[in-house]
Amino acid sequence: MTAVPQSTGRELTSPPTDGISNLRFSNHSDNLLVSSWDKSVRLYDASANALRGEFMHGGAVLDCCFHDDSSGFTACADHTVRRLVFNHSREDILGRHDAPVRCIEYSYATGQVITGSWDKTLKCWDPRGSSGQERSLIGTYTQPERVYSLSLVGNRLVVATAGRHVNVYDLRNMNQPEQRRESSLKYQTRCVRCYPNGTGYALSSVEGRVAMEFFDLSEAGQSKKYAFKCHRKSEAGRDIVYPVNSIAFHPIYGTFATGGCDGYVNVWDGNNKKRLYQYPKYPTGIAALSFSRDGRLLAVASSYTYEEGDKPHEPDAIFVRSVNEVEVKPKPKMLPNPAT
């Protein structure tokens, strides 16, 4: 129902009853998959604003992803990786980690499910076979620290872990990372997302900054990297520095939105280094963002992320807003500075 007309977007009905850990649009339709701390994974039809299905798990669900429009995968705090088929309400366990599974991605390029966990490993699974870890596990790759975020583009996988480590893998050769890096930000990494054009990734941290990095290690490539401050509030001469929880790239324009614990969603043009838009403040911090496959809709999970411990907070909600071109389309480049 339209709780607040258009200023925050349409609020989805029957949202999860506890914090939202992640949400994703499908690549095939406007179906939205939402994973939550209330141990459920819910499938919504975002355009119709209807709940289509729900699965309950054994523990908080920390991440979810689509496979195709009728099936998906989830990463759960009870250490399991599950496979779900929505139409038939079937689920089974694809495999397990030794600690809560924090992130999950499905690679269309290789047909594998990739999961990262707090047990400091990355695992690749083959979802086609029958369930059981023996059959489906393709490989286990140790990371320097607990995995906090993952992102895929084409054949590249970027893994961000605790302790500010970042590993870049080529999915075709997972035995060792293609690149081993440290984050160029100074504090804990929150989220990493690859550019849709595959040239690099954006990395956000708890210190209200986003770093734009590139895979190309040549001088030319590395000269383009930069970082910028965002999601901060100035107060009495000092900044209140909010973590940036989520980054989502617009599939068509390549611009991206960031959501922070301050409750704001900003849209940025990475090439021109400008902010394009700021959406009105949401009731509480932004836990997750996702653009629909055509970029017309933006789903915003306004859900308290526990960054201040346990405290009373606004109810967790999901808002789906229509995206206007002016909010996400890059502006033409400004003329170069006449000085020198």
Partner 1 sequence: MPPRKELCRNFQRGSCRYGDHCKFLHDTPPQSQSSPFGFGTQTGTQFQHTNPQQQKPNPFGFGVQHNAQVRGANDFGSRPNQFKPFENKWTRFSPLNTNSSSSLRQSDSQTSAPNHKCTDPESCKRQIIEDFENERPLWKLTCYGHNKNGPCDIVGDISYEELRALAYDEAKRGLSLQSIIERERSLLNSKLVEFQSLVQKPYAISSNASISTQNSVAGVSPNTPTTIQSGSPPSVSTFGQLGASLNTSRMFGAASSYTFGQSHSFQNYSQASSTFQGNNSPAISSHQNPFSTSTISSHMPTAAYNPAEVPMSGANSALDVTKSIQLMNNTHSGNSNMDNSIWMKAEWKIGEVN
Nearest-angstrom CA–CA distance, 225 and 91:
42
Given a contact cutoff of 8 angstroms between Cβ atoms, the answer to whether 201 and 221 are in contact is no
- Would you say how long the chain is, in residues? 340
Task: For residue 43, give both structure tokens.
Answer: 């499938």
With binding defined as CB under 8 A, does residue 188 bind partner 1?
yes
With binding defined as CB under 8 A, does residue 55 bind partner 1?
no
Nearest-angstrom CA–CA distance, 301 and 261:
11
With binding defined as CB under 8 A, does residue 170 bind partner 1?
no
Q: Which stretch binds partner 1 (CB under 8 A): 1-9, 45-53, 79-87, 268-276?
A: 268-276
Phi, psi of 135 (to 5 degrees): -80, -40
Our measurement of the distance from residue 197's CA atom to the centroid of its chain's CA atoms, rounded to an integer in Å, reads 17
Residue located via tokens 């939105």: 257
With binding defined as CB under 8 A, does residue 16 bind partner 1?
no
With binding defined as CB under 8 A, does residue 56 bind partner 1?
no
Nearest-angstrom CA–CA distance, 12 and 48:
9
Q: Which of 215, 101, 226 lies closest to 167 in space, CA to CA?
A: 215
With binding defined as CB under 8 A, does residue 301 bind partner 1?
no
CB of 313 to partner 1, least distance (A): 11
Q: Which of 243, 301, 269 lies closest to 25 in space, CA to CA?
A: 301
Distant-in-sequence, close-in-space partners of 133: CB < 8 Å, separation ≥ 6? 94, 95, 96
Judged by DSSP in three states, 71 sits in strand
With binding defined as CB under 8 A, does residue 118 bind partner 1?
yes
C-beta closer to partner 1: residue 85 or 162: 162
Q: Which stretch binds partner 1 (CB under 8 A): 48-56, 125-133, 201-209, 250-258?
A: 201-209
Q: Of these, 5, 312, 332, 338, which contacts partner 1 (CB under 8 A)?
A: 312
Q: Of these, 11, 305, 323, 328, which contacts partner 1 (CB under 8 A)?
A: 305
CB of 153 to partner 1, least distance (A): 19
Q: Of these, 130, 134, 235, 311, which contacts partner 1 (CB under 8 A)?
A: 311
Given a contact cutoff of 8 angstroms between Cβ atoms, the answer to whether 231 and 238 are in contact is no
With binding defined as CB under 8 A, does residue 102 bind partner 1?
yes
Residue located via tokens 């389309």: 329
Nearest-angstrom CA–CA distance, 75 and 64:
6
C-beta closer to partner 1: residue 54 or 239: 239
Nearest-angstrom CA–CA distance, 261 and 75:
23
Q: Of these, 126, 179, 199, 313, which contacts partner 1 (CB under 8 A)?
A: 179
Judged by CB under 8 A, the number of residues near partner 1 is 67
Mode of pairing for the β-strands spanning 200-205 and 209-214: antiparallel
Q: Tell me, what amino acid is at 109?
A: A
Q: Tell me, what amino acid is at 196?
A: P
Binding mask 209-248 for partner 1 (x = CB under 8 A): x-x-----xxx--xx-xxxxxx-x-----xxxxxx-----
With binding defined as CB under 8 A, does residue 148 bind partner 1?
yes
Restricted to residues 248-267, the positions that interact with partner 1 (CB under 8 A) are: 261
C-beta closer to partner 1: residue 22 or 292: 22
Using CB under 8 A as the criterion, which residues of the chain lie in contact with partner 1 when the complex forms?
19, 21, 37, 60, 62, 77, 99-100, 102, 118, 145-146, 148, 162-164, 177-188, 190, 205-209, 211, 217-219, 222-223, 225-230, 232, 238-243, 261, 273-275, 305-312, 339-340
